[in-house]
Amino acid sequence: MATVHDFSARAIDGKECALADFKGKALLIVNVASKCGFTPQYKGLESLQRKYADRGFAVLGFPCDQFGHQEPGNEQEIRNFCSLNYDVTFPMFAKVEVNGSGAHPLYEHLKTSAKGILGTEGIKWNFTKFLIDREGRVVKRYAPNDKPESLEQDIEALL
């Protein structure tokens, strides 16, 4: 059975990153966008990163432009936006598709491992979140409107 650690993705700086590098850490994987109504969640995501990083936790941000063209920028623009507006320190990746025939293999795995409302697999909007345990198993899926701070109890349980 595959785990998140079996996948790799291109980091926002263009380098390929094996998610196996995160073995032993609990993760929160989020498809993000800079022009979304949920964009202010970057603040909460960064807060989680800073609060729990030293206990073996990381947020992983995957920019996505599949919903209302809310992530139109290139990787450099996205990185600058996150740094200047939210002082993001958590790992960010290159833009990905999360649905359809071009969906990143990681997202195919996430969607089949933790289905959404009424058993649907498709990602409905940006800021859908997946909580991953230290062994790379998908524990839970959260809706875009679930605020990062509301996940603290679930994160604590994995640490």
Please tell me which residue in 17, 36, 64, 82 is annotated as part of the active site.
Answer: 36
Residue partners of 106: CB distance under 8 A and separation at least 6: 4, 7, 9, 19, 29, 62, 96
Residue 82 designated active-site:
no
Catalytic (active-site) positions: 36
